[in-house]
């Protein structure tokens, strides 16, 4: 067993306000017994303009946001999957594009894993327009990490971010590497989330017979953007174990390894792949 938490926020253009809320939610998750907590995409900033993220970019291993995350993981004694933060694409100085990166911190406050968002979101209607490629550089490699629980179980977690959810091959890659839990920090738009969020999450869980933990932005932001929320935890059979609607809060659920292995034994679809 491992208890996990998906944290839902409505991040603002003020970094410190977002970090203060993240700290509050992390404490709540730890207080409810979570050993691992997942922050949403863009937890540290939802700027007034897309390029605002460039002004807070950090180099890997240094910067106030990374210092905050390391301190929180160590002081609370939990694993933190840090949604996304903007990491510089240049070794020295500021860059005109950044990686939208998930960093993972162990309970000792060490950054032990990094994943850069591979698939960059584009969407356009008469009322909405998004193009992440203007400010983001895509990542190239999937990434996963192992957690040994207080009970001595080892779980493998695979990393993805928001728009990645539409690309089943990423999650199939994780399944082929014995990943048990797919993590999806996100900032789905309300339009696309209302149409596809839950069904895509459940598809990724069912087709890979794995747990899915999705932490989302969830509400109306000061920059006018509206995100869908509905953070949730889904089991390998597609059952929703815990969820919330809009707003800010914590979704906590316990993952049962025996249950997952039993489902994989009853329906050994992962062993039947031919392509």
Mean of pLDDT values over 43-66:
93
Q: State the chain's maximal CA–CA distance in angstroms.
A: 54
pLDDT tens digit sequence for 63-84 = 999 999 999 999 999 999 999 9
Residue 173 has pLDDT above 90, yes or no: yes
Tokens of 83: 């949604």
Mean of pLDDT values over 16-41:
98
Average pLDDT of every residue of the chain:
95
Residue 222 has pLDDT above 80, yes or no: yes
pTM: 0.94
Residue 92 has pLDDT above 80, yes or no: no
Cα 129 to Cα 13, 93, 102, 219, distances in angstroms: 19, 30, 24, 18
CA distance 98 to 87: 5
Mean of pLDDT values over 92-101:
87
| H/E segment holding residue 190 | helix 190-192
CB 184 within 8 A of CB 193: no
Domain boundaries, given as residue ranges, for the chain: 2-271
CB 21 within 8 A of CB 40: no
Catalytic residue among 41, 44, 132, 137: 41
CA distance 173 to 151: 28
CA distance 71 to 108: 9
Residues 6+ apart with CB under 8 A from 124: 130
| Number of C-beta neighbours around residue 134 at 10 A | 12
Catalytic residue among 58, 132, 137, 162: 162
CA distance 233 to 248: 16
Catalytic residue among 3, 117, 137, 202: 117
For residue 98, give the nearest of 144, 145, 44 by alpha carbon. 44
Q: Which fold has domain 2-271?
A: Nitrilase/N-carbamoyl-D-aminoacid amidohydrolase (3.60.110)
- Cite the beta strand spans of 39-168 per DSSP E: 79-81, 85-88, 98-105, 111-116, 122-124, 129-131, 144-148, 154-159
Q: Is 162 assigned a catalytic role?
A: yes
Q: Is 41 assigned a catalytic role?
A: yes
pLDDT tens digit sequence for 97-128 = 999 999 999 999 999 999 999 999 888 887 77
């Amino acid at each position: 067993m491992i208890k996990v938490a998906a944290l839902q926020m409505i991040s603002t253009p003020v970094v410190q306000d977002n970090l203060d809320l993240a700290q509050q939610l992390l404490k709540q998750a730890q207080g409810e017994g979570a050993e691992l907590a997942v922050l949403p995409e863009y937890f540290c900033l939802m700027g007034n303009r897309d390029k605002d993220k460039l002004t807070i970019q950090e180099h890997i291993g240094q910067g106030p946001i990374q210092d905050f995350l390391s301190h929180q993981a160590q002081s609370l004694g939990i694993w933190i999957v840090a949604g996304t933060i903007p990491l510089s694409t240049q070794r020295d100085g500021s860059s005109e594009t950044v990686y939208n990166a998930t960093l993972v911190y162990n309970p000792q406050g060490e950054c032990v894993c990094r994943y850069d968002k591979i698939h960059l979101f584009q969407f356009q209607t008469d009322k909405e327009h998004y193009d992440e490629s203007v400010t983001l550089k895509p990542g190239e490699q999937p990434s996963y990490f192992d957690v040994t629980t207080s009970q001595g179980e080892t779980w493998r977690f695979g990393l993805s971010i928001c728009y990645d959810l539409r690309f089943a091959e990423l999650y199939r890659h994780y399944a082929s590497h014995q990943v048990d839990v797919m993590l999806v920090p996100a900032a789905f738009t309300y339009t696309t989330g209302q149409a596809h969020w839950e069904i895509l999450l459940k598809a990724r869980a069912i087709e890979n017979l794995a747990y899915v933990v999705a932490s989302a932005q969830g509400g109306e932001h000061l920059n006018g953007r509206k995100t869908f929320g509905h953070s949730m935890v889904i089991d390998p059979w597609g059952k929703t174990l815990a969820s919330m609607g809009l707003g800010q809060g914590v979704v906590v659920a316990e993952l049962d390894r025996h249950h997952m292995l039993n489902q994989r034994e009853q329906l050994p679809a992962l062993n039947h792949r031919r392509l």
